[in-house]
Structure 1
Amino acid sequence: MQAVIIAAGESSRFWPLNNKHKSQFSLLGRPILYWTLKGLAENGVKDIVIVQSAKSSLSEMMKKENDLNIKLRFVVQKEPLGTGNALWQTRELMKGSFLVVWPNKVNSGTLVKQVKEAAEKEHADVVLVGASSAEVADYGVIRFDGNGKPVEIIENPSKGEEPSNTRLLGLRYITPDFFTYYEQLGAHHEADYVDATNQMIKEKRTALVQTNHEEPTLKYPWDAFPLLGALMNSSNFANSIDKTAKIGKNVVIEGKVMIGRNAVIKDGTMLRGPIYIGDNCEIGYHNVLRGPLNMEHDVKTGAFMELKHSIIQQGTHFHSGYAGDSIIGERCRFAAGFITANRRFDRQPVRTIVKGVKTETRLEAFGIVVGNGSIFGILASSMPGVMVGSGCQIGPGVMLSKNVADGEGLMKKE
């Protein structure tokens, strides 16, 4: 069986970590896309086409990351004209029924197995995957008939007008007939993938794989937290310490940890898993690391640093301080005394600003998100939910209470 992975969007809601496609964000030492491909490969799907944007570096990245014995081909969507148009670019490569997969399906293995079984058992031309959810208004939602059969997808229904509490997940099985339905649409627009699928549902045999698990999405930076949780609860996260790693005196390890090649954990540090520490990381004296925590390769901390429930990308350095419930990009620098606040006084969920709109994170604990290559002076700090762009310079003693655009510099006023 073949699969198409749609990875051509602009990832605009993933700012400030959208310097490249969000599926290239790393967890457990690999880009998110890798884990999706691994799940496909383990279930016999090894002929995969990836749709990328014109300026994407995905194809170059996967030349280095493809150790999965799969056939990968790339096609380009020249303009961001929606999922239907992205899929249309693959029409000459699809030779039979195929899967359409979003690149963040790190648990794709389980879902793919269920979808293939449903297609075979019910002789289906379309297999949808749905999950029950308390909040469905921001997604495609399935409308059922009186017999519980899926009959239509309603995209982004208005609040209170949702046809069910079953939202679509980013994995679908369809036949090549899709391309005929797509071509015959009267008009094309950004959501025409749904229009063509709905026409298929009306005329073709359709099955539904229903999961009771709250499946993670990847729209916003904080969506990386449940993706990390899913990976740490999978067989991809092994309790292991590489033989080249150096563990200092009086280091306390509780729970599951995965420590990479040539990593150094200095004396007196406490690790409370689950924690991933990548290759060549250096953890300073008397640190406190509390999981779930992900530290990509070449991350360094000085003495007396505390990190809690955070995701740190490669090459970032901390001198000392505290970062909790935070997501930090590549090659950032934090001078001594940096502190994130991660809870509101009233303990209500933290809100932030995304593309100029106040957005609910639904997280009671949420610190800071920082883009690549930003620098923070001594005693800098941040309020909950602040996002800082790439290439920023935050001066000594600055307390951040609102977002900082890419490339901006802020100094404390005397």
Structure 2
Amino acid sequence: MIGVILAAGEGNRLRPFTEDMPKVMLPVGNKPIVEYLIESLRRCGIREIVLVVGYKKERIMEYFGDGKGWNVNIKYVFQDKQIGTGHALLQAEKHVEEEEFLVLPGDNIIDGDSLSLLMKSKFQSLIVEKSKIPSKYGVVDIDGDVVKRIVEKPSIPETSIVSTGMYKLEREIFDVLKELVKEGKNRLTDAINELAKEKKIKAVKGNGKWKDAVYPWDLLTINADVLCNLSGSISGKIERNVTMKGSVQIGEDTIIHPNCYIRGPVVIGKGCEIGPDVCILPSTSIGDDVTVHPFTEIRNSIVMNDVSIGSNSFIENSVIGEGCRIASHFSTLVGEGSIEVEDG
């Protein structure tokens, strides 16, 4: 069976982090989101993967190449204009030779058990989950275990059951998509709704481990979740009087200077310089080539590659983008607030 991953979108709601990379390449646990999806497919025995790419596609293609480093075979197809998920899937048609195949959004994380249930379904199927904020997603109208329709982002949802966007489909979906695209209907959910009028589409209930990156703060939730499975390993240099507790992973050529305290789960990439007298607390991911100057504390945060954080700083519940330079005595403020986000 082939897995088609839709990875062409920019991710407007994840700006400014997506100004330099597509949303599927945003790091959690020091790996791109889409890498976890590829690994889940491989664990389920799927080694033929088609990646539909578009926005900043070079970042994806340079990182994964032909997929051999992940023991999979990756082919790329291009969606030049990101006008919808249905249109994106249509670009992959010539590479889908088998009757059945999987379709997955590249900015989601799902466990292998849920994917296995999807693969074993005897019908065309969709993984569904309960959501506390269903208005962010396609809300699924289900009769028993049969999908009747999907309502995209309703202002007043009738149920908390939402679509994960992860499907097991048959090749007939391409014929439906071609007709709908002619009418300007470019979403995959349009095709699913049309198909559901005549064919049985089964709702496969996930086990609650599905994660979706919609807004920047979702990255912190996903990061904390993936770090729960972190295996500790030390490849860098640890100097005197450094205390490390829990699962801590430190990359090659990284130096942890004296009197630092690190409590996992924490992952620190390659070529970093930490400390002295730095405190790093759980659910923190620090990328490659990062410098953290003395007397700084970081907790529950994502620090991307090539960042410098000045001395006497306090970073909490934050996502720090690639290449940021933060002066000394910087502090993030945590509290209630409101933000207006453009939907798109």
TM-score (norm 1): 0.77
The one-letter code matched in structure 2 to 1:352 is: I
Q: What residue is the counterpart of 1:199 in the other structure?
A: 194
The one-letter code matched in structure 2 to 1:193 is: L
Q: What residue is the counterpart of 1:305 in the other structure?
A: 296
Question: Aligned equivalents of 2:68 and 2:202: distance in 1?
Answer: 32
- Residue 325 (structure 2) pairs with residue 333 (structure 1): yes
Contact (CA 8 Å) 1:241, 1:260: kept in 2 or not?
A: yes
The one-letter code matched in structure 1 to 2:39 is: K
Give the number of the structure whose residues are more often helix, by fraction.
Answer: 2
Which ranges in structure 2 are unaligned for 5 or more consecutive residues? Answer: none
Superposition map of 1:36-185 within 5 A:
36-53=37-54, 55-57=56-58, 58-63=60-65, 66-96=68-98, 97-117=100-120, 119=121, 123-124=122-123, 126-145=124-143, 147-159=144-156, 162-185=157-180
Q: What residue is the counterpart of 1:273 in the other structure?
A: 264
Q: What residue is the counterpart of 1:351 in the other structure?
A: 338
Using the TM superposition, give the Cα deviation of residue 175 of structure 1 relative to its aligned residue in structure 2, in angstroms: 0.4
Q: What residue is the counterpart of 1:400 in the other structure?
A: none
The alpha-carbon distance between structure 1 residues 309 and 137, as it changes in their structure 2 partners (threshold 3 A), is: same
State the 4+ residue runs in structure 1 displaced beyond 6 angstroms: none
- Residue 308 (structure 2) pairs with residue 317 (structure 1): yes
Q: What residue is the counterpart of 1:393 in the other structure?
A: none
The one-letter code matched in structure 1 to 2:151 is: I
Using the TM superposition, give the Cα deviation of residue 32 of structure 1 relative to its aligned residue in structure 2, in angstroms: 1.8
Using the TM superposition, give the Cα deviation of residue 255 of structure 1 relative to its aligned residue in structure 2, in angstroms: 1.9
TM-score (norm 2): 0.92
Question: Aligned equivalents of 1:66 and 1:140: distance in 2?
Answer: 34
The alpha-carbon distance between structure 1 residues 219 and 206, as it changes in their structure 2 partners (threshold 3 A), is: same
- Cα root mean square deviation, aligned: 2.0
Using the TM superposition, give the Cα deviation of residue 352 of structure 1 relative to its aligned residue in structure 2, in angstroms: 2.6
The alpha-carbon distance between structure 1 residues 139 and 75, as it changes in their structure 2 partners (threshold 3 A), is: same
The one-letter code matched in structure 2 to 1:17 is: F
Question: Aligned equivalents of 2:249 and 2:205: distance in 1?
Answer: 33
Using the TM superposition, give the Cα deviation of residue 148 of structure 1 relative to its aligned residue in structure 2, in angstroms: 4.8
- % identity of equivalent residues: 28
**Secondary structure of 1:339's aligned partner:** coil
The one-letter code matched in structure 2 to 1:354 is: V
Structure of larger gyration radius: 1
Superposition map of 1:384-399 within 5 A:
none
Using the TM superposition, give the Cα deviation of residue 287 of structure 1 relative to its aligned residue in structure 2, in angstroms: 0.9
Using the TM superposition, give the Cα deviation of residue 163 of structure 1 relative to its aligned residue in structure 2, in angstroms: 3.0
**Secondary structure of 2:46's aligned partner:** coil
Please give the per-residue CA displacement for 1:130-177, whole angstroms capped at 9, x wherever unaligned: 1112210121111023x4532111111122xx2321011131110001
The alpha-carbon distance between structure 1 residues 3 and 76, as it changes in their structure 2 partners (threshold 3 A), is: same
Question: Aligned equivalents of 1:9 and 1:108: distance in 2?
Answer: 22
